Structure formats: C-alpha cells, structure tokens
Amino acid sequence: MKRIDMQSSWSQALVKMGVLGSIFVFTACAEKAPESDGLIAMVDGEVRKLSVEEEATICAEQFCEPNYIYTAQFGRPRPTPTPTPTPTITPTPKPTDEPLPSGDQRDYSRAKLGMDVAWKVTKGSREVLVAVIDTGVDYNHEDLKGNIAVNAAELGGKTGVDDDGNGYVDDVYGYDFSRNRGNGMDDNKHGTHCAGIIGAEANGKGIIGISPLVKILPVKFLTASGSGTTEAAIKSIKYAVDQGAQVLSLSWGGGGRSELLDQEIQRAIKKGVLVVAAAGNEAADNDRLPSYPANYAGVISVGSTDESDAKSSFSNYGPKSVFVSAPGSNILSTVPGGKYEKLSGTSMATPQVSGALALALALDGKTSADVLKSRLCDTSDKILLSRFGCGRMSVGKLIEGLK
C-alpha cells in the first residue's frame, strides 16, 4: 500500500462524510490537515516514525500514515450558567502550597456522582491498575504517592539495566515515551490533575479521588507543552496493556483518524481492557464530525457537565458517539509540587469515569468490560440524553447495582 498524502486523505475523508465548511476535531479544521510529524509505519512488528529516506521505499510497499500530533485538553470553556450553590468550602482556584483543610471536603462533583453511597460499599482496591496515558504523573505528590504503581524489580535493580526484562529500562514509576526513558514524571500538570480525580488517597489531605484505593500507572507521551505523536501514543497504550492495566484513561485528542492507533486500541479492547477517552472541547457534534481517539469503536467517550447538571458549554456531544457524561467544569484536583488547582474540560470528566470503572472492578475483577459498560450506561442518570447517549454517570447507582 502506498504512502497516504495527508491533505488529500483528510479531504477525501470529509467528502465521504459529506461534511462542508468548518470542522473542529479539537484543533483541526477542514481547510487544513491535522498537524503531524512525518510518517509512521509498522516495521519489524513495531510502529515507528520513518526517516525521509525510508518514506520513498517503505511507503511504496506498505501502509504508511501521518504521525499525527495529539494534545492535552485543558479546554477553552466559555461562560457557564451560574452554578447551583453548594455547602462545600470553595478552595482557591490557583495552585497553592497549602493543602485543603480536610480530605473529606469535596467539590460538587462528588455529591453529583453519589460518592457517599458508593464509598459505603467500596473504596477500591490496589489490585486494580489504571494507566493515565498523558503528560505523566507527579508520583511524589502527597495525595498520590501511596497509589502509584511501583515496579519492584526495577526499583531494587541496577540503574541503566532492564532488570525485569520487559524491554524498558528503569521503568520504576511507569515510562516516558516522549523521551524514551524510565519513569513518567509530569512536567506539565494535566496528567497529575487527571490522576488525582481517579485516585487521590483518602488520607485527610487535599482531595479524595473516585477510587481512593487503586494503583495508577504513569505513562507519559505528551511533552511539557502538552503535545505528543501517534507513534508515542501507540507505544504508550501497548506498554500499559502489557503491564496489566485494566483501564486506560485518555484525556487527549486533536489528530486525524489513525488506522495504526485504532488497531492498538482494538487490541486492548479485545483483551478486556476498558478504554476511556475525552470527547473534546469545541462544543462540536461528534456524531457528525468524529473526534479521535474518542470516536474509535468500543471506546467509552466522555462528555462534560457542570455544577448545574447542564452540558458544559465547551463539551463536545453526540448521543450516538459520546457514551456518557460526567462533571468536568471547575474540578479540583492535584497538580505537581504537592499543589491543587481547578481545571475544566472533558479531560476532567474522563478520569471521573475511569475512576468509577476502577471502583467497580474492585468489587469483582472478573466482571467483563462489556458488562461494566452496560451497567455504567444503565445506572447513569437519564438527563441530557439528547447530548450524551447514556446520560450523566452516577457512581453511587453503578456500585449499588453491582454489589
């Protein structure tokens, strides 16, 4: 199969979809192909970026595609309706060195999701592994470090040696595919914020994650600027699945449709891994204008709601393609350096769902992914159904229904 021309391939795809005018897939538009960094292909069983010299020969014989650039979704929220007042103490919106007064003081999302009901049944299990595939995770954060997956063989091994023989050197705390080195430390903040929503500890400090007992695997492929390539994303997903992750949390998007990335995601899904992805932040209809990776088959695509249980103004939607919604406006969570901050985006809604699935897996790790997805849908609050297929997630109802 010959090399794919980026611009013509993108245009042809639009013609097939019958789309005219502007199209937003995070940051892409119809007049311009999604940004990419060269071409990638499967070479000797591994996806990798091709050199300019290789492109002419390899792409003449086999499938090649653009090495699309994906970005962390911080979101660009527009003004939202006046939120319903809540009795909780409102923390400072900017990063702070001081922890919140108590780990039991939670933002509005915990009440919306029925966490008090869910936590009476389970607070999770450290046997459940969730991979945060993002900008990395600050694994030294006081609200996260007890829940970070640690590779004991590498921790007690020799520096510069692949002690456990998994093909990755010094991956004590996950791996950094943006630099091809061990440990997925966050140099942005996006991944740490997502990790806190999933699994901040119930330690009386800062916040409490949806699943306060869990193991979080930091997998970094997005750089400090919040961008990363398809090649690195594919390697990150393969690594996470090989390490035994049961849930993949993907709070990023912006590239075009990638056959090679889709293949890797489908391999994960066939192994029973739950893949959760952000729907996007351009207030666009994903049923009409697909957004990736959220629109790949089998992926649990997540939209965002606000304090009033309305669709967040920035959130993408689509009752056929966006599986469920969760609170994503003004969510308080961890950021690097032992700090806390409020952020908004479908990026923040996605780890709410990832954490809920981790909590559900703690009840019975043998429950199939299909059953969990079905229960997640059935137990969601039936609101906003014209925007999100299953409504707005209810963790309390999900866990009550599974116990």
Residue 139 has pLDDT above 70, yes or no: yes
Q: What's the pLDDT at 366?
A: 86
Read off the pLDDT of each residue in 310-330 and give the average, rounded to a whole number: 97
Q: For residue 107, name the pLDDT band (cuts at 50, 70, 90).
A: confident
Burial 24-38 (b: 16+ CB within 10 A, else e): bbbbbebeebbbbbe
The whole-number average pLDDT for the span 74-79 is 40
Q: Give the C-alpha distances (Å, rounded to integers) separating 308 from 303, 380, 388.
A: 15, 16, 16
Please compute the mean of the pLDDT values over residues 297-314 and round it to a whole number. Answer: 97
Q: What is the overall mean pLDDT for the chain?
A: 87
Asked if residue 7 has pLDDT above 90, the reply is no
How do 181-182 and 175-176 pair as beta strands? antiparallel
- Predicted local confidence at residue 105, as pLDDT: 52
Please report, for residues 4, 37, 141, 261, the alpha-carbon distance to residue 61 in angstroms, rounded to integers and kept in the order given. Answer: 12, 21, 48, 20
Catalytic residues: 134, 190, 347
Mean pLDDT of 147-168: 96
Predicted confidence band at 73 (pLDDT cuts at 50, 70, 90)?
low
Mean pLDDT, residues 280-304 taken together: 96
Counting Cα atoms < 13 Å in the Cβ hemisphere of 224 gives 3
Q: If you average pLDDT over residues 158-164, what whole number do you get?
A: 96
Strand partners, 331: 343
**Average pLDDT for 282-302:** 96
Task: Indicate the range of 100-109, 158-167, 377-386 predicted with least confidence.
Answer: 100-109
Section 196-207 average pLDDT: 95
The three-state (H, E, C) secondary structure of the chain, written as one string = CCCCCHHHHHHHHHHHHCCCCCCCECCEECCECCCEEEEEEEECCEEEECCHHHHHHHHHHCCEEEEEEEEECCCCCCCCCCCCCCCCCCCCCCCCCCCCCCCCCCCHHHHHCCHHHHHHHCCEEEEEEEEEEECCCCCCCCCCHHHECCCHHHHCCCCCCCCCCCCCCCCCCCEECCCCEECCCCCCCHHHHHHHHHHCCCCCCCCCCCCCEEEEEEEECCCCCCEEEHHHHHHHHHHHHHCCCCEEEECEECCCCCHHHHHHHHHHHHCCCEEEEECCCCCCECCCCCCCCCCCCCCEEEEEECCCCCECCCCCEECCCCCEEEECCCEEEEECCCEEEEECCHHHHHHHHHHHHHHHHHHCCCCCHHHHHHHHHHCCECCCCCCECCCECCHHHHHHHHC
What percent of the chain clears pLDDT 90, i.e. is strictly above it? 80
Pairing of strands 274-278, 247-250: parallel
Residue 101 has pLDDT above 60, yes or no: no
pLDDT at 19 over 50: no
Stretch 147-151: mean pLDDT, rounded?
Answer: 98
**Mean pLDDT to the nearest integer, 173-191:** 97
Q: What is the pLDDT of residue 61?
A: 94
Output the pTM of the full model.
0.86
User: How far, in Å, are 97, 209, 302 from residue 341 at the CA level?
Assistant: 11, 14, 21
The pLDDT of 365-379, averaged and rounded, is 95
Residue 93 predicted with pLDDT over 60: no
Q: What is the pLDDT of residue 13?
A: 37
pLDDT band at residue 310 under the 50/70/90 scheme:
very high
Region of poorest pLDDT, from 67-81, 163-177, 192-206: 67-81
- pLDDT (0 to 100) of residue 106: 62
* pLDDT higher at 388 or 82: 388
Q: Examine the pLDDT at 265 and tell me if it is beyond 90.
A: yes
- Does position 77 have pLDDT exceeding 90, yes or no? no
Residue 34: predicted pLDDT: 82
- Residue 32 has a pLDDT of 56
Least confident of 8-22, 132-146, 149-163, 231-245: 8-22
pLDDT tens-digit map of 214-258: 999 999 999 999 999 999 999 999 999 999 999 999 999 988 999
